[in-house]
Amino acid sequence: MRILIFLFPFICFSQNSIFKDSLILINLDENQLVNEIKIEDLESIKLKEDYYFIDDKGGNVFVLKDLKLNQIDKSFRHRMQVGSNIFTYNDTIFRHGGYGFWETRSLLTYYDFSTNEWENLKSKNEGVKKINHLSTTKSGKTIFFGGYIKDPKKGVNNEKSNSVYLFDFTENKWTNLGNSKYHFSTQDIVINVGEYEKLISKNDTLFLINPFINKINFYKVNPILYSTISNRQLKPYYKDSIFYLINKVNPLQKTFEINKRQYEEVLFYKIGEADFIKKNNRYIFLFVLLPFFAFCFIIYTYFIKFKSKKKTLKLVNDILIYKGRKVKINNYEISILNFLSNNSEIKINSLVDLLGNEKLNYNHQLKIASKTINDLNNKITVFMGLESSFIILSKSDLDKRIKIYKLNDNVRIVIS
């Protein structure tokens, strides 16, 4: 029997959640309530095959065994790290930062299973002070970002913290990486995607963040998924390339409706990308002018040379023209060529959108889109006598299952 740990209004499945009322265990096979445990102010985390629940006010640690919470620590609720960031590394539970006794802290502590107490991890230099912040870990390094700093001298409101710090567990050393362009915190809807990426929903935009390569990709929220992926009371989660969206809870009947969506269905409409950490442009104006003109000259020379080598394909209404030869194409093929002429690439899910036949199921639409672009590719490759394909197929670096199509670099389309 597959068991899902669920909380109304928060959910936990291989990622952190804060529990304020009660913990609910659900049988995923039957979507039925298995057990309900009354709890207060606990944050969950998965370590190996066990679920642990850590006191949000600091101290107490519980483990879920036999559908019951059992306290295992010898600590107490000290209230010194409220809003701290809890994460795991090397089969150990860590807690960083937090607020208590009128001070935002930079403490990095870990839970010692041999003594069942929290211990301070000593570092070569002082870390960053944060509360309600996020973190991600890779190859013995943890990056902390976002969150707030609480300064009682400045009033009751928290001050946003955009600083990004890295802690190296090998060297026990903190490094200031700079400031992030956008502010995030645990108050946003955060989904762990893979081992070290975060998907964050804010308003109608999805931010896919990978701090280790300093990259943010922006996606438009699918209108069909907007109410579930942007609902703070029904937190979605991700596992094995599938997003699980809770879009209906019926506490009276004790049933739960869970929608499963593939990776490309949620992240299907990319609208841009940016650096995660701001670049320091303090002295850049001293080096811009001369390299800029040199760069423009090189680009201009290359463009003139490269343009002369490109083969031009003209599209007039529904007729393709190349060196006096003509071939007719249909409306769907016209839409594809229009898209490719204005964009560097097109993904398979964008082809489905261009097809615009919502009456067919998604898999059928995928088959039609794939067949159409393959037929179009073969037809134009032969029509123009190209040595390589007219449309080049590749796979996304983010997910190898996502097909990406782009024009042959030696061909350009002129639409009139």
Q: What is the pLDDT of residues 371-396, one digit of tens each?
A: 888 888 888 888 888 878 888 888 77
Is the same domain home to 85 and 184? yes
In a domain, 85, yes or no: yes
User: What are 89's two structure tokens?
Assistant: 């590394």
Q: In whole angstroms, what separates CA 164 from the centre of its chain?
A: 17
Residues 256, 341, single domain; the answer is no
Asked if 391 and 373 count as a contact pair (C-beta separation under 8 A), the reply is yes
- C-alpha to C-alpha distance for 232 and 308, rounded to whole angstroms: 55
User: Looking at the domain assignment, is residue 151 inside a domain?
Assistant: yes
- Tell me which DSSP letter residue 234 carries: S
Q: Mind giving me the DSSP string for 183-218?
A: ---TTSEEEEETTTEEEEEETTEEEEEEGGGTEEEE
Q: How confident is the model at residue 171 (pLDDT cuts 50, 70, 90)?
A: very high
For residue range 174-200, list pLDDT tens digits in order: 999 999 989 999 888 888 898 889 999
Tokens of 91: 């089969």
Q: Count CA within 13 A, CB hemisphere, residue 334.
A: 13
Which pLDDT band, with edges at 50, 70 and 90, does 290 fall under? low
pLDDT band at 293 (very low <50, low <70, confident <90, very high): low
Q: Is residue 339 within a helix (H) or strand (E), and if so which, with residue range? A: helix 331-342
End residue of a domain, out of 274, 302, 321: 274
305 falls within a domain: no
Q: What is the pLDDT of residues 32-75, one digit of tens each?
A: 444 455 555 677 788 888 888 888 777 788 888 877 778 888 77
99 and 230 share one domain: yes
Same domain, 152 and 49: yes
Shared domain for 239 and 112, answered yes or no, is yes
Q: Note the maximum CA span of the chain.
A: 85
Last residue of a domain, one of 274, 296, 326: 274
- 241 plus 147 within the same structural domain: yes
Domain identity same for 73 and 140: yes
- CATH number, domain with residue 321: 1.10.10.10
The domain total for the chain is 2
Please report which helix (H) or strand (E) contains residue 369, including its range.
helix 362-384
Residue in the structure block whose two tokens are 């261009």 = 354
Strands 411-415, 311-316: parallel, antiparallel or unpaired by DSSP? parallel
Tell whether 323 and 262 lie within a shared domain: no
User: Tokens 């031009």 appear where?
Assistant: 312
Same domain, 151 and 205: yes
Does 285 fall in a domain? no
Judge whether 230 lies within some domain: yes
Domain identity same for 233 and 356: no
Residue 98 sits in which domain range?
45-274
Q: Do 387 and 323 share a domain, yes or no?
A: yes
Identify whether 68 is part of a domain: yes
Q: Is 288 a member of any domain? A: no
In a domain, 27, yes or no: no
pLDDT digits (tens, 9 = 90+) for 218-271: 998 877 777 777 766 667 788 888 888 876 666 555 566 777 888 888 888 899
Which is nearest to 7 in space by CA: 28, 31, 37? 37
CA 279 – CA 362 distance, rounded (Å): 41
Q: Last residue of some domain: 228, 252, 274? A: 274
Note whether 181 and 129 are same-domain residues: yes
